Structure 1
């Protein structure tokens, strides 16, 4: 009987607590996910190759976007020669900053008129006008990324298109003079202009993989039960 008397107040207290009256510590889920992000994880060689493609796609897509915006601005000003001088997105400060963050060295290998390839790493399979990439690991701490640069934007035709149709004969002659040895003009939509190539350090690739796969906390409001 004495035990029942002692337990009765406890039962009454528990019965008085409704679910909507229970207070949870704020940010517990966020703290748990941040703790999980700090745990050491094993990154496999396959993971590093995936990260190489992710990093290459991200950096080159960003560079291409900046290039289109810059060319549109310069062409609007009316100077084709001036616009063509900006066709080096790999050297843009924003692209260079992004490349330094992921320890990558980007370059654009342009398609030449001679039989000599712009770079030894370019293979025929990597220059088809589609979404194919070449991903490799030439050394233990070095990764390589390559994807074709295709003429898939009308803005590019303004410099690389057909003389007398997309640009004047005088403009075509000026571009050929500025870029000797390169097939700068006379191209058609879908053709390959060259290739993006990136050399990345292992530490940068691993950091990109960690950032890409880390858990991101999202606040979820508790439903109102009562």
Structure 2
């Protein structure tokens, strides 16, 4: 009798084990890996890819446009604020966007050195002859590879903001004589007056290192995971 009970117990145990095993293997109980598309995109982002010379030139233009557009936007905002707060006397010390912290930080990302040059500069240290072809319009770009490790970027600086006339327009008309006296005191060799709206004033020039340009290409072209919005229920 005891042997029969033992045999029945073993049979019951194996039946339970088989039942649990079958339940565990049901397809709807299997936990799949989530976000496989995102994981695939991230994996692709870290793949080593060869960047061709023409792609590096394109990336140098992207980086130059991004840095100079940021600098010009910050310059407009800063000059508007400072002119409103204290006029030309307070604003003229801020007309150096290449030294702004945000611009310097972005230049660090691109491994770039930025400067502004002009044939008629306010600061004599920025004096430079610029070709007419390179200054045709504000959409003109000069992008070249100076060496294996260095790219050169240049684009015109055009006076498109009427506020700039308060320091760079016609003396006695746009610039108050008292304000120009302050400008001449700080910049005795000033030539940066007499400009009109829409006129080129000079150029941005950037020197960019190859590793910074290559990194920017990777940042701009990597795949991005886009979250899918849930459908509207009502």
TM-score range, shorter chain: 0.7 to 0.9
Partner of 1:212: 220
Which is helix-richer, 1 or 2?
2
Give the greater-gyration-radius structure (CA).
2
Distance 2:66 2:178 in 1: 37
Partner of 1:118: 127
Unaligned residue ranges in structure 1 (runs of 5+): 1-16
Select which of 152, 165, 177 maps to 1:144: 152
TM-score if structure 1 supplies the norm length? 0.81
- CA drift of 1:90 comes to 0.4
- CA drift of 1:203 comes to 0.2
Select which of 170, 174, 192 maps to 1:184: 192
- CA drift of 1:24 comes to 5.5
Unaligned residue ranges in structure 2 (runs of 5+): 1-26
TM-score if structure 2 supplies the norm length? 0.79
CA contact under 8 A between 1:112 and 1:181: conserved in structure 2?
Answer: no
CA contact under 8 A between 2:119 and 2:128: conserved in structure 1?
Answer: no
- CA drift of 1:110 comes to 2.7
Select which of 43, 53, 58 maps to 2:61: 53
Distance 2:105 2:230 in 1: 41
- CA drift of 1:129 comes to 3.2
**1:5-154 paired onto structure 2 within 5 Å:** 25-112=33-120, 118-119=127-128, 122-154=130-162
- CA drift of 1:40 comes to 1.1
Distance 1:105 1:94 in 2: 14
